[in-house]
Amino acid sequence: MKQPSYPLEPTQQARAAVQQAIDTYIQTFLTQLPSLPAFVDSPAKGAGLLESPIAEHPMAVDEALALLKQEVDTPGINSASGGHLGYIPGGGLYYSALGDYLAAVTNKYAGIFFSAPGAVRMENQLLRWMAGLIGFPENAAGNLTSGGSIASLIALATARDAQKITSRQIPDAVVYTTAHAHHCLDKALRIAGLGECPVRHIAMDAQYRMQPEALDQAILQDQAAGLKPWLVIASAGTTDVGAVDPLTAIGRVAQTHGLWYHVDAAYGGFFALAPSGKPKLQGIELADSVVMDPHKGLFIPYGSGAVLIKDRQQTAETHHYLANYMQDALSAIEEASPADLSPELSKHFRGLRLWLPLKLHGVAAFREALEEKLELAQYAYGQLQQMPGFEVPVAPALSVVIFRYAPASGEIDANAFNQRLIKEVQADGRVFLSSTLLDGAFMLRMAILSFRTHRPTIDLALTILRQKVTELEKSWEA
């Protein structure tokens, strides 16, 4: 045999050189971040990557980082920016990135307790802490997921089995939610084999919250028609307007009729940490399952969701499978293994990206940041109400502010004007706002959830809106 070589095991000197280059890149990015645009509409949209195909021979780290900066980190939304006020912004905590680095280098397999008891204990400790935040029992089942989509799939698959929904029952098994429920829930129903379930969109009030009386009436009507109501999905922070459904009243309706009660708190769940946020989530403890995303309310980088389910036994029955080659792991049962409570077997050690910043910052820092976001939303709402021509139809329940500009001239179509307005704001690039439709009206959204967003950011966004409205009205008349 030839003399062995180990090209995939760099020397300490080589590791140090590459790490130094990457650390310099990171520190430069963070130093420049306050002055970087929140959005860059690059014509090439990263296509330069295609001019550098995967090759047989290595590339120098400086050349690779230059490609990364030009083609990946510059175009599109700067998700790390405090000016990212579109969709539901979130993470980018530096200590969380260090947690990912540690997890990747040590490469612990956190799927089963036998393989990495400390890693599994850490993740379960985090889940028990989350359960305590929302009033769930300590022995609730849970899983750290890649996001709200997989978390929802775990919850709804468990609900399906708990309610004994078989294939023959699916066409008569009714689901109740609102038109503002996140689309990942429809996706989860379909993937879980429940795509043929009738879905009732329950009426909402003027603040886009589900009406419990309408829910109760819909269930009674379906029962009288011989159908099988089985699942109620409420929202604790809708994506469109940030609405929180009346969780207590909905929970009582679900209990009365024996339905599984799921709360999508992917966006709003961690506001339970904030003094003014916790009362808004009253009633979430009545749920059978809850989804909440650390990559939103705890500012962790993307790829961090969580699901909590009261019925631990049912969750295990839905997701647990045995294989002969895993027989060595059977004796280790002190902690529930993530692989037994979710579809995932191979998984990233996600707990470290959450545990490290919680330990190094302390929970109080997160509590203060979340309270600030709630205050900023109220501030933006109040300022928009005072700006001539702006309509703000929904009082923010959490940190999403929805609004539009109503042109004074009746000859200007409001929807067309606001479509132009959002494009002008995004093209400006200093802040990034998104849009949605409410009852056919084109609306702008200011979603405030980056830990780097503070009052000067909101003031800047409001100034840009005023400027762009003035410019558009002048050009429209011309």
- How do residues 224-243 score in pLDDT, each as one tens digit? 999 999 999 999 999 999 99
Q: In terms of domains, do 35 and 137 share one?
A: no
Q: In terms of domains, do 24 and 156 share one?
A: no
For residue 326, what pLDDT is reported? 53
Q: In terms of domains, do 57 and 195 share one?
A: no
For residue 91, what pLDDT is reported? 78
| Strand ranges of the sheet holding 390-391, from the earlier edge strand across to the other edge | 390-391, 400-405, 441-447, 434-438
For residue 324, what pLDDT is reported? 53
Q: How many CB atoms lie within 10 A of CB 190?
A: 13
Residue 191 neighbours by CB under 8 Å, 6+ apart:
153
For residue 323, what pLDDT is reported? 57
Query: For the chain (length 478 residues), average pLDDT per consecutive 10?
Result: 74 96 97 96 92 93 97 95 91 95 96 93 97 95 95 96 96 97 94 96 97 98 98 97 98 98 98 98 98 97 96 90 55 77 91 98 98 98 98 97 93 95 97 96 97 98 98 84
- Phi-psi category of 310—alpha, beta or left, where left has phi over 0 and alpha has psi -120 to 50? alpha
Q: In terms of domains, do 129 and 187 share one?
A: yes
For residue 321, what pLDDT is reported? 72
Q: In terms of domains, do 119 and 258 share one?
A: yes
Q: In terms of domains, do 298 and 380 share one?
A: no
Residue-range definition of the domain harbouring residue 38:
13-78
For residue 5, what pLDDT is reported? 67
For residue 409, what pLDDT is reported? 84
Within-domain flag for 4? no
Residue 71 neighbours by CB under 8 Å, 6+ apart:
44, 46, 47, 48, 49
Scanning 320-448, the segments in alpha helix (DSSP H) are 351-361, 363-386, 414-428
For residue 2, what pLDDT is reported? 62
Within-domain flag for 378? yes
Q: In terms of domains, do 202 and 336 share one?
A: yes
Residue-wise pLDDT tens digits, 335-350:
889 999 999 989 899 9
Q: In terms of domains, do 189 and 209 share one?
A: yes
For residue 4, what pLDDT is reported? 65
Residue 474 neighbours by CB under 8 Å, 6+ apart:
none
| Overall number of domains in the chain | 3
Within-domain flag for 287? yes
For residue 377, what pLDDT is reported? 98
For residue 448, what pLDDT is reported? 97
For residue 466, what pLDDT is reported? 98
Q: In terms of domains, do 279 and 380 share one?
A: no
CATH code: domain of residue 255: 3.40.640.10
Token pair for 283 = 């009633």
pTM of the model: 0.94
Domain boundary among 321, 336, 361: 361
For residue 6, what pLDDT is reported? 74
Q: In terms of domains, do 328 and 396 share one?
A: no
The rounded distance, in Å, linking the Cα atoms of 66 and 51 is 14
Nearest alpha-carbon partner for 89 in 236, 272, 296:
296
DSSP-assigned letters across all residues of 44-91: STTGGGGGS---SS---HHHHHHHHIIIIISSEE-TTSTTB-SSS---
For residue 410, what pLDDT is reported? 81
Within-domain flag for 1? no
Within-domain flag for 7? no
Within-domain flag for 8? no
Domain boundary among 325, 344, 361: 361
Contact indicator for 465, 418 with CB cutoff of 8 Å: no
CATH code: domain of residue 391: 3.90.1150.10
Within-domain flag for 3? no
Q: In terms of domains, do 140 and 253 share one?
A: yes
For residue 89, what pLDDT is reported? 81
Q: In terms of domains, do 151 and 231 share one?
A: yes
Domain boundary among 333, 361, 389: 361
Within-domain flag for 88? no
Counting Cβ atoms within 10 Å, is residue 342 exposed (0-12), middle (13-18) or buried (19+)?
buried
For residue 48, what pLDDT is reported? 92
